[in-house]
Amino acid sequence: PMVSQVRWVAAVATLAVALLFGTVSATESNFTTSKGGFLSFDDVKGKPYEVDFDGRSFAVGGQRTLWVSGSVHPARVPPGEWLSTLQLMKANGLNMVQIYVFWNMYEPTASGMGDPTNTDWGAVDLKKFVALAGDVGLFVNLRVGPYVCAEWKFGGLPLWLMNNTKYPTLRLRTNEPTWMALTGDWFQRVTYEVAEFLAPLGGPIVLTQVENELAWDAPVEYVEWAGTMARAALVNAVHKATSGLSAGTSDDTDEIVAKNSLAFTNAEDARIIPVLMCEGSVSKNTVPACNGPTCAEYLTDQHSRADMNIESDDDGSGYEKKVLVDYPGVWTENEGGYQTWGGSAEKPTAYFWGRGADDLAWASMRWFARGGSHMNYYMFAGGNNFGTTEGDAMQTAYATDVNVCPDGLPNEPKFSHLGNMHAALKKVAPALLGVQAQVGKAVFLPHRGVLVADDDGDGVWDGATHVPLTYGALTGNGELGVGGGKKERSDKKSLIRQRATSARSSTRVRSSTLSKSLSKKDEKGRRKHGALLHNTLLVDSLGMNSGVVSDVFVSEASDAFTEVSSRPDFVQSTKQEGFGEVSGNVVAFEYDSEFDDSFVAFLENNSPRAVVADFRGGAFQLNSYSSVLVVGDMGDLRSGNGGMEVVYNTSQVPVVKQLRKVKKDVAKLFDLRVWNEPIALDPGMLSRTKSVTSQYPLPQIALTGDTSEYLWYHASFQAPSNFDESDGDVLPPVLWLKIIGRAANVYSVFIDGFPVESVADETHSPSSQNQEIEHWVSLGRHAKSHVRTLAILSESLGVSNYPIFPNTAPSDFEKGVVYAEVKREDNDEILPFLTIKNADTVGDTWRMRVGLYGEQMRLFDPNQTKTSSVRWSSVEPKARVDGVTWVSAKFSMPSDWDRRKETVLLDASSMGRGHVWVNGHDLGRYWNLLRKDESLTQTQRFYVVPNEWLRLHAGDANEVVFAEIAGAFVDATIATSSSRAERRDLRFDCIIIIFPRPHSLHTAPDIPGVVSRHQTNRKTRYSRTLSDSLPPAHRYGRGFPRRRRRRVVRVLRRRRRPRRHRGFRHQPQPG
């Protein structure tokens, strides 16, 4: 192995010059699929290897491979769960993990450029995570950014960039010298940190990404610089890593160093790991990628594939990045939904809420059908926004409807349904990658409509009537009632017959070529349905798995299942029924082998109704918005020996009996103590906290930096005097406080130290930078003889992660109070604020104080002796607290708690709003905010407590500290979640959501005349356990899939002169 390393390092190093200055383009390749077309890192582990690509796919060591990837953010998942999460990915059939590097996690206070003490690589051990991924057998796509979005605070950028004094000319994401110097240095230091894990040195990192969703009209100079900078950083990292081997004692090591020192003088055909740029401007030496809930159109539309270019503002010249011609189809974010404070499944505020398992599978199959070869779930495991890391208005649990829930448990049935798809893709990968992509070559299938649940034959779909299915029937411990209109069946055997009549079939048909490659074990476990074809049985699209029910959801009000639709017993042969319809809605993408009669085909129904389609003489039922993957053999079809088999059906969501179980009230809080933080200023407080004065409110982040999400604004005013106090019938006028603040901010108002009201804005991704929000708070009536003290506690709900466009100033994303005034209701007189004694400057009227007082004293730290610094008061459970109150309590896990199988949850449903720490670890924000719908449920009730934060043994006391801001009855409890299903508390959705999620997110079919996907009327099918008449959640302009709508809005707002449209000039063609 060492000799091969010598040869490899020498070869790579010789290519440095061409690497830095040459362009990347497709060449004639001799890639093969002899190793299966679905490689894992285990296949190349232990030796250096080359990562290359052409228009069909990526290749590892000359071997083509599909990459089915999933995003996991190490900062959102506790380190103790990294290995189990990665193992879960591998077990689910993925072969790559995609990770972001959050700059502000490593350098929260200052740049490490020139001062490495400012960089804390231990904050999130990137090297350890990548090493674990390699140990598990996963490739790694390292997305460095430095801007990453990710619904993370400031898109991953450090807040010290907002320091206008130190960086007065800094502009973000453009060719401004300070920005390029800071970000180029950061990118280089990241690659140095992980150099040993790069593919050229035998590591698992095979892809990296620079920038993220960079605007289509970004400066060309910056786009080109970003691509060149990233590639140069990789070359430098490999060179430094190999040079660093000279510290060893091995002769082979010395030979590597010697070869490497000579190699950089002899550059030829440059190759290192590819650099990606996604969803926006793309450098000519990087690979373009798509982001969004669907990217099939990105492959289908000739304009989007051939027109992803960068233009010069002067002459409009550019160069083309042809996907599926020069570059493989790369989908870096198959998005799974995001949740904001106050949002809901019915009325998403900025992002779509979630996606059904069938919809996610359907979008993925459409991608691979057209020739895509890399697909990444964003996210695979969302994790949690611990501490103060969230983007604006994002709730603490992140991406709660993706494959793995925030508590680390599989999100069933989505997890299993997609796992079946991964297994099917792995089996057909050699056949898919053995021929060219079939985009633009869709075959229109003859078809006819079909009623999928017409048990009584009256021509009316009976699926609109729902009869609960009890848990006992699913487990065999009770009876099952099934409803299909007028008929009812009460025994379990009848249900099985209804779902899979073909189980009675005794004849099994296999293809003679491709199906023979499937293992006998897989064949034995597969149930088949029959379709008549030339007097033989043909496997149709109705099922591989036994006990399958489609579209099954849990009712929140009861623990009963509901069957939303059913299947006919079998599809009929095209010889018996006429198929008169042909349209671009029902199509097939065929991958015929060049070496034998085997083939792979994707059959799609991109319409809202179920159909039976004719494909190569067989009848296949395709439910609405669904796809099936078929393998077969033309020789067998010609001879009448069967020849086709369905290996995956996107609409066939399996019943999974190992569901989530939530056990509430596992432990109670005890030893409750409270301390009310003083609101009024005193010399002792001011001496221990950072404060400044000014004539007007100052921006929050400029004062707090990354140390706190809270800033106090203090002022005082004289109550009005122009009314007759001697007249008892005349009351003082009502006073109103006007606050102009920022988006995603909460303002708690206090008068003379007493709470008045809190006002909030939960906007995510505001329409413009520094968007101002106006609030009015009634201060009541006040007599003239009093000077009133006003205190406003500004609470940031996270710094915006989007939109951060090129050439914007970092200070455009500030938080806090912009302006405030007190006004009389009777005559609109504005009452002046009084000047401050001992102010920093004479005439100042406002004092800003950084953070909560309890934060300064670290009341959340178990190592602090609280009794010596503050005077705590003991209270009973359910005691009422108001104002800013620190609550300290303890809890112990019961003796039967199994830390290996049960995740601990904090049930904060009785609390108000604030931050919570467990044994000194910041769990993040809790907020009992109701959703903006009629559900009357909290946005988030349960908060994941990582087991590694807890005391080692059950029974040990754990300390929990709340910084309660909104006022509450203190009665939080401890719950647990596990996958041990019992009758009570069963859930199909993640326990964090506590609301039935939308079923599907659908897109326009591939038919001529459909407008751009930016304008597509996206349709959402909801679980009928909610309502049969819920409104669509994804109409254009509200709740539109993230970033798509915003790009259009930005184009309308920011362009100053007519320019040729960059981006998706989308006129989809069939296929």
Rounded distance, CA 417 to CA 404, Å?
13
For 55-95, where are the E strands, in sequence order? 58-60, 63-65, 67-72
Q: Would you call 213 a catalytic residue per the annotation?
A: yes
Residue type, 991: I
CA 447, 449, 455, 456 dihedral sign is negative
Rounded distance, CA 873 to CA 82, Å?
40
Of 620, 493, 517, the closest CA to residue 568 belongs to: 620
Residue 133 has which token pair?
């991924």
Rounded distance, CA 763 to CA 911, Å?
23
Q: For the purposes of burial, counting CB atoms within 10 Å of the CB of 725, is it exposed (0-12), middle (13-18) or buried (19 or more)?
A: exposed
Terminus-to-terminus CA distance in the chain, angstroms? 46
Residue 516 has which token pair?
């023979």
Rounded distance, CA 146 to CA 229, Å?
12
Residue 691 has which token pair?
């404060």
β-pairing verdict for 710-718 and 754-761: unpaired
Q: Would you call 948 a catalytic residue per the annotation?
A: no
Rounded distance, CA 172 to CA 145, Å?
12
Q: Which of 193, 224, 255, 311 is catalytic?
A: 311
Q: Which of 81, 176, 211, 213 is catalytic?
A: 213
566 within 8 A of 499, measured Cβ to Cβ: yes
Q: Which residues contact 748 (CB under 8 A, 6 or more apart)?
A: 755, 757, 758, 792, 793, 795, 884, 965, 966
Q: Which residues of 437-470 are buried (b: 16+ CB within 10 A; e: fewer)?
A: bbbbebbbbbbbebbbbbbeeeeebbbeebbbbb
Which H/E stretch holds residue 1050? helix 1044-1054
Of 461, 466, 494, the closest CA to residue 480 belongs to: 494
Which H/E stretch holds residue 907? strand 903-907
Strand-pairing partners, residue 59, are 52, 64
φ, ψ of residue 24 to 5 degrees: the values are -100, 130
Residue type, 504: R
For Cα atoms 600, 606, 609, give the angle at the middle one, nearest 5 degrees: 120
846 within 8 A of 832, measured Cβ to Cβ: no
483 within 8 A of 464, measured Cβ to Cβ: no
CA distances (Å), origin 961, targets 60, 113, 604, 855, 967: 50, 37, 54, 11, 15
Residue 782 has which token pair?
């006040």
Tokens 């010395």 belong to: 254
CA distances (Å), origin 257, targets 19, 49, 192, 204, 233: 20, 18, 17, 22, 19
SS (H, E, C) 792-858: EEEEECCECCCCCCCCECHHHHCCCEEEEEEEECCCCCEECECCCCCCCCCCCCEEEEECCHHHHCC
469 within 8 A of 482, measured Cβ to Cβ: yes
> DSSP 3-state assignment of 465?
coil
The conformation of residue 172, written as its DSSP 8-state character, comes to: B
Question: Quick one: angle between helices 177-193 and 220-243, nearest 10?
Answer: 30
- Give catalytic residue positions: 213, 311
